[in-house]
Amino acid sequence: MVVTSFNRVAITELGLSAAVISFIVGVYTLFGPLQPVIGRMCERWPLFRYRRTPYMLLGTLLGGLAFPFMPSVLLAMQAGDPFAYLWCLLLFCAFGICIAMQANVFLDLLNDVTTEDRRSKVVTTVWTAQAFAMAGWAWVFALLMPVYSHERMQFMYGLSPIVMLTIAFVGLVGLETRLTSEEADEIKRNPPKPVRLLEPMKESIATLGNSKHALAFFVFIVFSLLAMFLQDILQEVWAADLFNQAAGEATVWQRIYNGMQAIGMAVAGIYTGISFKKRKAAKQAAGDDVSNEKMLPLDQGKRLLTVGVCLTVVSFLLLAWASYIRDLNLFYVFYFFSAWSIGFTAFPSISFMADMTVAGQESKYLGLWSLGQVIGLFLSFTVSGCLYSALVESKVLQSNLAFAVIFALQAVMIIICWVAVRGVTVEGLQRDAEIL
């Protein structure tokens, strides 16, 4: 809802600054580092002898209750009320805490209810379902608000707490095993130690200054997310600027993006699975040990990434051309191609993070990569808004040329992330860690 209607209404219909709106929206991503703290809260203070379910519902309620206030706050911002900007920022802080709580509880529940050999398949299935669900909700939003009006937006946003809580509750029923009285008493007697947020973060950041492999991989994560999601907050905006599409029509870009991205990841996953089986069978036939054979070794992942990057760069340049000539039919074709290419590229990118760790220090490096994701997502919102304000709102460029420039910049960013990861190896990361 945030990137399908909120940004469109704020920037296009109400004429608010894209730079300001993108910053406010992007703030929610900065709450990602709170996940370890939330996770330890769940372990220390179970509610009604449940460690996960109550916190998921509380987080969902907090995030859901932020939405009904947003339409009125946007009108107050348009009227020039300075306090409305602060109120809007606080609403997105609540939404950020909600997302952090949901993400942490999801990962903990995933660990609780799956076995190690099935976990990766479950993650892939859930992620794919999530992508298709986002496309489906974009279609629902188009039905609820085909043309912007404050009344329609208020109705749609007023439904959000009920819908969010209902979905969360239905999804959680029977999923978590309740603690026994003895287990709950044991937690009270010997509670887990609290998490100190800043110390692990300082340690992770210090690693960047002492390991060129860690720094290069961190740059790779930041720029890959920046490149892939730079257009996310602008999709409904270019629909209006380039093709005069109404609010409901503009949701088609989210449907295309999420649907094709999921398909692109699925294709990369199928190819990886087939290659793994063939490679494993060949080694078994040769009498080699395959007990530690990885699904996607780093060197093969880099080759897959190279293919994805090449396709993505071409797709961005084609989108730049279609934007410049304002050809809607070509834009549709190239956007299908771009979303698919981004999904194909994302698959090896995600798999790299699990491998880029050092034995005994996994949490430090995974925390560092999580920090890179937070920064990359935050920049993808704020940079896109600033580019739109600097190029379009300032009337420096016509909108068609401005969006052509933005897509060309995405091509440059995806090349930067590819260059950054080329020389990175797990062995190099481990050698740097030994020196430290």
Question: How high is the pLDDT of residue 8?
Answer: 84
Instruction: Determine contact, residues 308/341, Cβ cutoff 8 Å.
Output: yes
Question: How high is the pLDDT of residue 211?
Answer: 82
CA 303: distance to chain centroid? Answer: 24
**Band of residue 115 on the pLDDT scale cut at 50, 70, 90:** low
Instruction: Determine contact, residues 376/38, Cβ cutoff 8 Å.
Output: no
Average pLDDT over residues 229-254: 84
Average pLDDT over residues 352-372: 73
| Rounded Cα distance, 366 and 61, in Å | 29
Helix 53-66 / helix 35-44 crossing angle, nearest 10 deg: 130
Residue 73 or residue 104, greater confidence: 73
Q: Which residues lie below 8 Å from residue 368, measured CB to CB, with a gap of 6+?
A: 204, 205, 207, 208, 214, 218
| Rounded Cα distance, 274 and 278, in Å | 6
Question: How high is the pLDDT of residue 415?
Answer: 93
- pLDDT for 384-426, tens place per residue? 989 999 999 988 889 999 999 999 999 999 999 999 988 888 7
**Band of residue 1 on the pLDDT scale cut at 50, 70, 90:** confident
- pLDDT for 83-104, tens place per residue? 999 999 999 998 888 888 887 7
- pLDDT for 252-288, tens place per residue? 888 888 888 888 988 888 888 888 788 878 777 777 7
CA 434: distance to chain centroid? Answer: 32
Question: How high is the pLDDT of residue 116?
Answer: 60
Distances (CA, A) of 309 to 207, 245, 312, 347: 28, 30, 5, 12
Which domains does the chain carry? 1-195 (1.20.1250.20), 196-282+295-436 (1.20.1250.20)
| Rounded Cα distance, 227 and 249, in Å | 25
Stated length of the chain: 436
How many CB atoms are located within 10 Å of the residue 167 CB?
A: 12
The pLDDT > 70 percentage for the chain reads: 91
The pLDDT > 90 percentage for the chain reads: 23
Angle at 141 between CA 137 and CA 143, to 5 degrees: 115
Mean pLDDT (the chain) is 83
What pTM was computed for the model?
0.82
Check pLDDT > 80 for residue 118: no
**Band of residue 290 on the pLDDT scale cut at 50, 70, 90:** low
